[in-house]
Chain A
Amino acid sequence: MGQKNNKKMETLKLKDNSAYRTSKDKVFLVGVIIVSIITISPIVLIIGKLVWEGIGQINFSFFTETTPSTFEAMTAVANNEVIPGGIVNGILGTLLIVGLASVIAIPIGILVGLFLYENQQSRYAGLIRSLSDILQGVPSIVLGLIAYLWVVKNIVHGYSALAGSVALAIMMLPLIIRSTEETMKMIPETLKEAALALGVPYYKVIARVLIPSGFSGLATGILLSVSRILGETAPLMLTTLGNPMVNWDITAPTSAVPLLIWNFYNDPNMLSLIWSSSLFLMGFVLTLNIISKRIVAKI
């Protein structure tokens, strides 16, 4: 008898509860929608604005010709035409600087990351880990100054792509170090043991089992670090300076897309090029991000 009564009470309570829950769910849902709109709107507005203002300027010559002179731009604007020329010096300069930065940062970053993974507990590793975290917080302009002092003043004796690459490589390092360590930690210990149990020397286990197994993680970390530095402007102002011509000499001043955007901003005749260059840069970064997401999804 007592039990029966209890049961009735419970079902009654449950009904009450469910009504309360549905209303709570609704409030929650509305909240989620509002918050997501707030989060999404900036990105939608940014991309919308870039496409709206910039797409007209993007044509074949945009990717094949160097930046126009102020005079050419002024004439075009006065005649209500599309500004001639393009940003190929910036695009190739960015590729050169970022490529060189990757060549410097990727091997060092992966090696340090592997070291941290191998020496989880050691105090020295802890020190390096904290230093790497601190490095991540150093303002990029400061890294630009450092690269200026090291490379521009003392090594190349002039503004150069190399100097910019050093600054950007320092920015990439903490990201690659972290992602390498985290990726390695995700690889099951049993895989390592399986290889060691076959009598494989430790360094070969790292090179032939751990790195291939963690390849997608490493690639993602690298892509994200590249997309992180693609838009860096401040350090490049102090190191690569800019160049109206296409330049492949790593010891000479070199242009880059974000530098061009800054230049365009300072030249009232080139305003519409700001938008097309920004659209290009944004598209580049977005593509890298999407590729790296894809890689992650594939694991």
Chain B
Amino acid sequence: MNKNIDILENPALKLENLYIAYGKTDKYAVRDVSATIKKNAITAIMGPSGCGKSTLLRAINRMHQLYPDVKTQGNIYLNEKDITKMSAIHLRRKIGMVFQRPNPFPTMSIYDNVVAGYKLNGIRMKKNERDAIVEQSLISVGLWNEVKDSLRKKGTFLSGGQQQRLCIARAIAFKPDVILLDEPTSALDPIATSKVEDLLVQLKKDYTIVLVTHNMSQAARISDYSMFMYLGDLVEYGKTKMMFTNPRDKKTEEYLTGKFG
């Protein structure tokens, strides 16, 4: 069954018959997911808790490979290239990730957090280049004015929302193609949330964004495409507007109308 929207022309990401299981059991956390993800758009992954959203997202930058128990089958292509044929290091520089809880490096200043990707990888550059990257990244996450006088302070001194935007700055400082976000606003208050949402809409002109969210209205507000997952299956995938106004699958409709979730 093709649950997919029309096959996109040169998609940013292409998932092909993806199966992911934790441990040796045949219980798949993600089952036979195929999808193409559009460039310069926000694609939301929705679904009830435990349906495999994070699992799917973490397959895209091969985070699972850290844990030998996680078995992944199927293919993922980034710009038509098989991600298993790239080095994980190269891949992760092309695909940034933002986590559910803000996790700036506690030993680093705000400044160093932004360029952490360069610093930790030992990539040398001139100071003015680095300054420019820090400024640009912080401007694009709307944090520059708030922190420009305290760049030397520890990143962990910021508020939760600021920390999360710092983490987004850290991800985009590396100029990736794709940014993966796993419920980036679930630990934030409504104001901080709306700032992050505005930011994501801003960012999509330069980046492809894949966003896991628990929050349907968030998906409705900012995403262009939505996936609905249920018990590891990709139940429905399509333009967000279409899905919210006219869901094709009964399960999707029940979820969107709050019958479960």
Contacts and interface: CB of A to CB of B under 8 A. Distances in A.
A199 B167 CA distance: 15
B207 interface: no
A201 B117 CA distance: 11
B125 interface: no
Most chain A CB atoms below 10 A, which of B93, B99, B107, B174: B107
A118 B102 CA distance: 24
A204 B96 CA distance: 18
B121 A199 contact: yes
Interface in B154-172: 167, 170-171
B103 A190 contact: yes
B116 A199 contact: no
Contacts of A205: 120
Interface stretch (A28-36, A107-115, A207-215, A240-248): A207-215
Contacts of A82: none
Nearest to B97: A197
The secondary-structure label for the interface of chain B is helix
Interface stretch (B22-30, B84-92, B234-242): B84-92
B120 A198 contact: yes
A198 B106 contact: no
B63 interface: yes
Contact of B92 (A188, A197, A208, A213): A197
A212 B107 contact: yes
Nearest to A195: B120
Given A204-B122, A213-B105, A194 B92 contact: no
Given A191-B106, A204-B121, A199 B93 contact: yes
A197 B119 CA distance: 14
A191 B107 CA distance: 11
B63 A197 contact: yes
A33 B66 CA distance: 51
Interface of B: 61, 63, 66, 88-93, 96-97, 99, 101, 103, 105-107, 116-117, 119-122, 167, 170-171, 174
Interface of A: 188, 190-191, 193-201, 204-205, 208-209, 212-213, 215
